[in-house]
Amino acid sequence: MKMLRKLLLLGCGGFLLLVIGGTSLLLPSSWQVSVEQTSLHSPAQLYPLIADFHRWQQWVSWDEQEYGERTIQIEGTAASSGHRYRWSSRSSHGSMTLDRCEPERGIWYQGAIESKEINSSGSITLEPLQGGGTLIIWKDRGDLPPGTGLPALWMSSERSAKFAEDLHRLQNFDLSRPAPGAGIPKRRQ
């Protein structure tokens, strides 16, 4: 009887793995996110916060509990093509590189999310609202390797929630906060 129970449990477990694996194979292995938030700030006030990766640390969150402490490298000139943000931690790595920047309109980027190869692209655009304020739209899409439909589905949901949280911080950003490094004298070389 105990042997029959073990075989039944093993069979059920194998069947469950087969269903999960099959489902993952059938689902698309891509993610797509689009999040919108209105802000009382103008596009001119918001643009420096999105076009300079040094400023992202002021409004974009990072979950140290889940991903660990991160190391960041920022390269290139802010608000210009080629401006790059790289990160790595114990369980996450990647980069984002600005492709196009239009003052007071938005930024467009390519990313390597959990990869060394480009596998995502996105934009953060700023649309002026009648009567003042701005509609901020963050769009992101990307591809995972074939057969990773369940992780891609999770990524769409996870990124939507995170982007919404980050845009909420951007919407309410205290514009009187200085940029990182502001007011610190630069060393002469």
3-state class (DSSP) for residue 186: coil
Looking at per-residue pLDDT, the higher value among 181 and 93 belongs to 93
Q: Say if residue 60's pLDDT is above 80.
A: yes
- Give the residue carrying structure tokens 């003042």: 132
For residue 127, report the phi and psi dihedrals to the nearest 5 degrees.
Answer: -115, 120
Looking at per-residue pLDDT, the higher value among 113 and 144 belongs to 113
Local confidence band at 144 (pLDDT 50, 70, 90 cut-offs): confident
83: CB partners within 8 A, 6+ apart: 51, 52, 53, 74, 75, 76, 77, 97, 98, 101
Q: Among 11-15, 93-97, 121-125, 165-169, which is the least confidently predicted range?
A: 11-15
63: CB partners within 8 A, 6+ apart: none
**Residue 84 belongs to what H/E stretch?**
strand 84-88
CATH T-level assignment (fold) for domain 29-171: Alpha-D-Glucose-1,6-Bisphosphate; Chain A, domain 4 (3.30.530)
